[in-house]
Amino acid sequence: MIEFACPECRTGMTAGAAHAGLPSFCPACQSPVQIPGSAPRRPAPFHTSPHPATSGGRQGSGAVALTYGILSLFVPLFAPAALSWSNRALREDPTDGAAKAGNALGIIGTVLLVMAASAFFIWALWALSAATSPAPPPPPRMPATQPY
């Protein structure tokens, strides 16, 4: 355990050795505090790759976003998934081209989804009004004409 005091209000605090060197907040005055000690070193990953998409974190989330974006052009119900995955991938790597394309296709899919839902509701209202309206009266009969 590491014991230290807040530099602002001098409140005594303790932290585990695993938290050494990490930022925190004082529970009394809420000012930012650096826990004393050096930060623990993280072990090197077993497999390092020059490509950021496969070096750690969520692998291939930009590709998943792009896949959902393409699917949303044909089935607009996939558009929210494309937007969700692309936003997640862009938070991890703002330069991910596949995530950017998935985001754009997700937006297009969302527009298609809104248009399809609007068309369905307009059709449903039309069908409902046609089913509940009375039948039009038959056209008047033409009188038989007299031959000359």
Tens digits of residue pLDDT in 86-131: 998 888 888 989 999 999 999 999 999 999 999 999 999 998 887 7
Q: What is the pLDDT of residue 21?
A: 84
Give the containing element (helix H, strand E) for 33. strand 32-34
